[in-house]
Amino acid sequence: MKRYYLGEFEEVVLLTVAALSDNAYGVTITHEIIEQTGRSVRLNQVHSALQRLEDKGMIKSKMGNATEERGGRRKRLFVTTALGRRVATDTQLTRLHLWKLAKGTLGPLSEI
Amino acid sequence: MKPQETENTKHSPPKWARQLLRLFCAASTFEEVDGDLLEEYHHQLRRYGFRKAYWDYVINVITFIQPFAGRREHVHHTPPLVITNLWRNYLTTAVRNFARNRTYSVLNLTGLTLGLVSSMLIFQYVTFENTADRFHVKGDQLYRVAFKSVVGGGTPETFSQIFLGAAEEFKATIPAVENFVRVRADFFQEGPTITYTSGGDKIAFKDIRSVIVDSTFLEVFTFPLVKGDQRTALRLPNSVVITESMAQRLFGDEDPIGKTIDYSMNLGLQNLLITGIMQDIPANSHLQFDVVIPLSHFMASIPEENRQYYEPWEFREFTTYVELRPDTDVKKVEQMMTKVVDRNIGEDLREQNITVNVVLQPMKSLYFDRQTDLGTTGFGSTLVSARTGNQRMTYFFTIIAIITLAIALISYINLSTVRSLDRAKEVGIRKVVGAHKYHLKIQFFMESVLMNLTALLIAILVVIMLIPYFNEFAQTNFTLASWFNQTFLLVFGTIFVSGVLLSGLYPAFILSSFMPIAALKGSINSFGSRSALRKFFVVLQYAPAIALIVCTIIVYNQLGFMRNMDVGLEMNKLITIRSARFLPDGMRSRDAEAMFRNEINKLSAVAGASFAGNQAGRGLNFIVPFGRDTTNESSILEFKASGVDHDFADVFGLKLLAGQPFTEGMSPNHGDPEKFIRKVLVNETAVRQWGFDRNDNVVGHVITSTNGSQYYIQGVLEDFNWASAHNATEPVMLWYTPNNRFMTIRLEPEADVEEALAQLKGIYDRLFPEDVFHYEFAEDVYNKQYSEDEKFANLFGIFSGMSILIASLGLFGLSAFAAERRSKEVGIRKVMGANVNQIVRLLSKEFVFLVFIAFVVASPIAWIVMREWLQTFAFHIELNAIPFIVTAIGSVCVATATVSVKCMSVANTNPIHSLRTE
């Protein structure tokens, strides 16, 4: 399998895009990450991560509808591509595999 | 789609930040980013409130400014043109070069920036002076009417004060005269007082400059009103127009329109209604005033018994300006006006053997006009309210500006050519891979342009910061917008562009001419070649800087000399007070003056008090012409005259050389009072000019002026200079007037000034409760006349300092470079046993010698220029060698210090380091 490099933060963003299904755009992704991971994230970081992901072909985007709140600006909605989903799965599988190998030294892991 | 008005939209994110985003965010992503930020903003607003939302928005925008936050577009680039790549490469090379040779680059940049800053400041000043009085919309049609009169066959003199009725007759008889306005300073020696009652308190103001003008004043001249109607402001009865700053002074922030002020002048107290507020007068207007009073009102307030003095062809204290039709033949109008004058007073003039020609002086020439006699300070004249520029000063400064900029440019050329060795390899490679000569020329020229532009940017920033100081210094009121006005941009743009061309082309040609083989083999020694030219440049930049320094020292010497000059007057601990104008009911002015004098003479701190017609340093009030009967029939001797009291000589420390002093209560007239022969004291200069060799001989003579009045010479005083060191001591005649407008008080030498002033104020307030106590120190008043000279000296000092600094920066760069080039030589010398001293001497010898040569070149120029300049002062220092010696030693020291810095470090380097590498 061809190796795709997926950064840690990129992975978070990619997974969040997947989690938000059809409502993934800058603001919602940022808020979701803050809510779910508790890390402080700024919009610009999310934007650049999204761009990198799109460049790598792991997500794709289209322009969505506009709202009043956005001053009449449309949002760019993101969805994962097949490649993105596969890379995410691969990453996760690799990780699980490694976890199993390292089991015992890392202490108890209640649920995955 | 516009967001609807909801609770939250009344707050909105800062517009400027959004604008910033629009500017810096890639167009392809702008829409979504903008939308996201807005949405986030509203989210935060709901949750945390306005303040947090606001700042978060700002931070978000700033984080998006980073160029990599932009969306990369998936567009296939068309292969860029080679030329674009080259340009980018040039830019990269330039920036890298700048960064690598940081010291030289910063030296270059600093020198250029300093040169640009000083020349920008000076050019602004010069432009400002040269555009004086150009703000009048009808400026080209405006002329001041002056009389050029010749007595007998003598030298013609031009007077700007002409007859009261002349203008009206000009307009009536000459069709080309469209309009006229007469202006007269309402300034009878001590100036008007204004009082204004606010909430029961009466506040009084002195030190006011007011003009009496025709109601056409606001139409002919362009002095725009901020409030009030321009057409009627000066036509309403009892109206008065004041400037914005005067209004601020009187009323603070209240609306002044419709308020009444009490105005006191020699024609008594008047109630005036404020009908207009005028924009402050531009500092480069030759007319300067705070208060404008309509002439009709002034004429109406003249008491019946004085009307006889204001005959149309008798009273000549008005300055008249006419507005001519466009494209009028001015010469013709002048002739017609001369005829009008001839028709009215021709006979009288012929009787006195005087010929008068009317001269029309264009408005824009007035500011620099120092020839025309603007009138005496007595009886109201334009003198106090007219500002004259100094053309000579603007020439001087233009030269200084050019010199500083030139020094900076030369320094730049020198450094960049000398450094070309560092670039020789680059040039070689570029040529080998196919660069044409013109490519290289473009490249190096572009580097120069880049450097100059950077310097220009920094210079502009510095100038913007300096504007307030400049305003204070030059008494101007520039704002950011008015500073970069069209004239300035044009003049400075031209200078800058030519500077860039000159300084950019030469290095470009030198650098592009290297032969590739020689360059790559490293056999080009740029420091050795063209060394004659380099030396010449060093001399060329140092010589003017040195000349400026010499001049500065001499200018300061002259200023100090004028300040400390023995003017024959004892100025120490002298206080002058203007007479009270608002007197208790029924009190006459002269009684008030006498009463005040009696009261203050009782004070222990007061050594003496004297009344005179004016203050020292401001000239005397009257001019009395005498036909010089001893030598030349046709020449006229003008005596400056004023009334003083018996204590005058004592208070000012004047010595009586012959005859009798004035005594208290003496009769002011000699012999039969009906004949009105005034008893006078004259000064020595008067005696000499009269043709007497002994002071005693003149005492007791009765002399007759050309207008028939007679004077009995009672005594001769030692010379004193009442006016200024600019002018030679004039013949002076003093007559006896026991009470007058200006009181000068001499304090006891050991008296406490503060305490004495408090006591004086107490007496003044008690005697004249309606008025305000206003005092000046005689020394300050006297020295005020030198403020222009002082300004000149300070500007001169600053800019010559600047030029020597720029030159030294250049020299530093040059010597540092030379020292580094020779580091191997130094290493070998050290190995062979040379010590640090010898090496420093070896390295710096050449440069110090060059600076000395520059001094030798500069000295004669400075000598000639300064000799000319000193001639403009009647009293001046003698040129001697001291300033030159001081400068020679100083500049050689500065040069040695500059050069030694780097030489020392090179000389102190361990030879291992310099010899190890090859």
Top-confidence residue, B317 or B213? B213
Instruction: Provide the ipTM.
Output: 0.85
pLDDT in tens, B874-914: 888 888 888 898 888 888 888 888 888 877 887 887 777 77
If we measure between CA atoms, which residue out of B109, A24, B374 comes closest to residue A33? A24
Q: In angstroms, what CA-CA distances link B721 with B206, B381, B699, B758? A: 27, 22, 22, 31
Across B281-291, b (16+ Cβ under 10 Å) vs e yields bbbbbbbbbbb
B contacts of A30 (beta carbons < 8 Å)? 40
Q: What is the CA radius of gyration of chain B?
A: 36
Q: How far is CA B733 from the centre of its chain?
A: 34
Confidence class of residue B458 from pLDDT cuts 50, 70 and 90? very high
For tokens 């080998």, name the residue. Answer: B432
Return the CATH number at A44.
Answer: 1.10.10.10
Residues 6+ apart with CB under 8 A from B901: B812, B816
Q: What is the radius of gyration, based on Cα positions, of chain A?
A: 16
Instruction: Note whether A80 contacts B: Cβ–Cβ < 8 A.
Output: no
Q: Which whole number is the average pLDDT over B663-688?
A: 81
Query: Quick one: CA dihedral B522, B528, B532, B535, positive or negative?
Result: positive
Secondary structure (3-state) at B72: coil
> Which chain A residues touch B72 with a CB distance below 8 Å?
51, 55
Nearest residue on chain B to A43, judged by CA atoms? B60
- Give which of A25, A32, A48, A69 to mutate to test B binding, by max B Cβ within 10 Å: A69
What is the percent of chain B where pLDDT is above 70?
89
What digits encode the pLDDT tens for the residues B55-94? Answer: 888 888 888 875 544 444 544 444 444 556 777 888 888 8
Query: Could you tell me which residues come within 8 angstroms of residue B896 by beta carbon, excluding any fewer than 6 positions away?
Result: B844, B848
User: Per the CB < 8 Å rule, is A43 touching B35?
Assistant: no
> How many angstroms separate the CA of residue B69 from the nearest CA in chain A?
6
Do the bridges between strand B354-362 and strand A74-80 make them parallel or antiparallel, or are there none, so unpaired?
A: unpaired
**CA quadruple B217, B219, B223, B225: dihedral sign:** positive
Residue A67 touches chain B, beta carbons under 8 Å: yes
To the nearest whole Å, the CA of A28 is away from the closest chain B CA by 9
- Whether residue A32 is contained in a domain is answered as yes
Partners of A43 on chain B (C-beta within 8 Å) are 33, 36-37, 40, 60, 63-64
**Start-to-end C-alpha separation, chain A:** 25
Query: Rounded to a whole number, what is the distance in Å from the CA of B447 to chain A's nearest CA?
Result: 35
CB < 8 Å to B66, chain A: 44
Pairwise CA distance, residues B511 & B508, whole Å: 5
Q: Does A42 sit within 8 Å of B38, measured CB to CB? A: no
Q: pTM for this one?
A: 0.66
Render pLDDT for B828-870 as a digit per residue (tens, 0 to 9). 888 888 888 888 888 888 888 888 899 999 999 999 988 888 8
Cα of B105 vs its chain's centroid, Å: 35
Residues of chain B in Cβ contact (below 8 Å) with chain A: 1-4, 29, 31-40, 42-43, 59-60, 63-64, 66, 68-69, 71-72
Instruction: Give tens-digit pLDDT for B580-604.
Output: 767 777 777 778 888 888 888 888 8
Q: Does any CB of chain B come closer than 8 Å to the CB of residue A34?
A: no
- For chain B, the average pLDDT equals 80
CA-to-CA distance for A49 and A28, rounded, in angstroms?
14
- Interface test with chain A among B11, B12, B36, by most A beta carbons within 10 Å: B36
At B197, is the secondary structure helix, strand, or coil?
Answer: strand
Q: How many CB atoms lie within 10 A of CB B585?
A: 5
- Compare CB distances from B32 to A45, A69, A76 and report the shortest one's residue: A76
Check CB contact under 8 Å for A70 and B36: yes
Q: How many domains does chain A have?
A: 1
CB of A78 within 8 Å of a chain B CB? The answer is no
pLDDT tens profile B238-294? 888 999 988 888 888 888 888 888 887 655 667 888 899 998 888 788 888 888 888
CA-based nearest residue in chain A for residue B36 = A27
Does residue A112 fall inside a structural domain?
Answer: no
Q: Report the DSSP pairing between strands B157-159 and B161-162.
A: unpaired
pLDDT at B603: 84
Nearest CA to B638 out of B687, B686, B697, B693 is that of B686
Q: What is the pLDDT of residue B525?
A: 56
Q: Tokens 């060394």, residue?
A: B531
Domain encompassing residue A76: 8-102
CB distance B40–A42 less than 8 Å? no
Do B72 and A75 lie within an 8 Å CB cutoff? no
